[in-house]
Amino acid sequence: MNIQESKDRDIIENSEFKQVAEQLKPQLNTKLQQPKHYITTYEDSQAIHGWNAKKIATWQEMKHKAYGKNESFIVDFNDHMAGFLRLNINPVGSPPDAPLHIKLTFGETLVEVSEPFYNYEGWLSSSWLQEEVFYVDVMPATITLPRRYSFRYLKVSVLDTSPKYSVSFDAISCKTVTSADINKIPQVEIADEKMQQIDKVSIKTLIDCMHDVFEDGPKRDRRLWLGDLRLQALANYQTVQNNDLVKRCLYLFAAVPNQNGEIAANLFLEPTLIPDDTYLFDYSLFFSTTLFDYYEATKDKQTLKDLWPSALRQVENALSRLSKENIVMDDSSWWSFIDWHEELNKQASSQAVLIYTLKKTAKIAKILEEEETFSWIDKQINIIAKATIEYLWDEQVGFFISGEKRQISWASQIWMVIAGVFDKERNKKLLQRLLKENPKVGINTPYMYHHLVDALLISEEKEIAIQYLENYWGKMVDLGADTFWELFNPDNPTFSPYGSHLINSYCHAWSCTPTYFIRKYKL
What's the closest the beta carbon of residue 221 comes to ligand RAM, in angstroms?
5
The CB-side HSE value for 136 (13 A sphere, CA atoms) comes to 26
What's the closest the beta carbon of residue 227 comes to ligand RAM, in angstroms?
5
Q: For residue 138, what are the contacts with CB-CB under 8 A and spacing of at least 6?
A: none
What's the closest the beta carbon of residue 116 comes to ligand RAM, in angstroms?
24
What's the closest the beta carbon of residue 198 comes to ligand RAM, in angstroms?
20
Residue from 151, 169, 337, 488 touching ligand RAM (CB under 6 A): that is 337
Angstrom CA distances, 422 to 363, 414, 465, 503, stand at 19, 12, 20, 40
Query: Which listed range, 50-58, 219-227, 426-434, 467-475, lies at the site for ligand RAM (CB under 6 A)?
Result: 219-227
Query: Which listed range, 159-167, 221-229, 236-244, 376-384, lies at the site for ligand RAM (CB under 6 A)?
Result: 221-229
Residue from 17, 42, 225, 294 touching ligand RAM (CB under 6 A): that is 225
Q: Are 180 and 206 in contact (CB under 8 A)?
A: yes
Size of residue set near ligand RAM by CB under 6 A: 8
Angstrom CA distances, 144 to 88, 135, 172, 497, stand at 9, 13, 10, 34
Contacts of ligand RAM in 467-486 (CB under 6 A): 486
- Residue type (1 letter), 337: F
- H/E segment holding residue 515: helix 514-520
Output 308 or 485, the one with its CB closest to ligand RAM: 485
What's the closest the beta carbon of residue 292 comes to ligand RAM, in angstroms?
20
Residue from 112, 115, 216, 461 touching ligand RAM (CB under 6 A): that is 216
Of 229, 242, 184, 239, which is closest to residue 518 (Cα–Cα)?
239
Residue 227 found at the interface with ligand RAM (CB under 6 A):
yes
Question: CA 70 from chain center: how many Å?
Answer: 36
Q: Are 109 and 50 in contact (CB under 8 A)?
A: yes
Output 228 or 454, the one with its CB closest to ligand RAM: 228
Residue from 510, 511, 512, 513 touching ligand RAM (CB under 6 A): that is 510
Rounded Cα distance, 190 and 388, in Å: 40
Query: Which listed range, 225-233, 289-297, 307-315, 404-412, lies at the site for ligand RAM (CB under 6 A)?
Result: 225-233
Residue 449 found at the interface with ligand RAM (CB under 6 A):
no
Output 104 or 207, the one with its CB closest to ligand RAM: 207
- H/E segment holding residue 51: none
Rounded Cα distance, 405 and 38, in Å: 54
Residue from 221, 262, 276, 461 touching ligand RAM (CB under 6 A): that is 221
The values of phi and psi at residue 245, to 5°, are -70, -35
Query: Which listed range, 77-85, 223-231, 312-320, 390-398, lies at the site for ligand RAM (CB under 6 A)?
Result: 223-231
What's the closest the beta carbon of residue 336 comes to ligand RAM, in angstroms?
10
Rounded Cα distance, 290 and 213, in Å: 15
Q: Provide the greatest CA pair distance for the chain.
A: 83
Q: Are 483 and 218 in contact (CB under 8 A)?
A: no
What's the closest the beta carbon of residue 275 comes to ligand RAM, in angstroms?
14
Output 221 or 482, the one with its CB closest to ligand RAM: 221
Residue from 112, 228, 276, 470 touching ligand RAM (CB under 6 A): that is 228
Q: For residue 423, what are the contacts with CB-CB under 8 A and spacing of at least 6?
A: none
Binding residues vs ligand RAM (CB under 6 A): 216, 221, 225, 227-228, 337, 486, 510
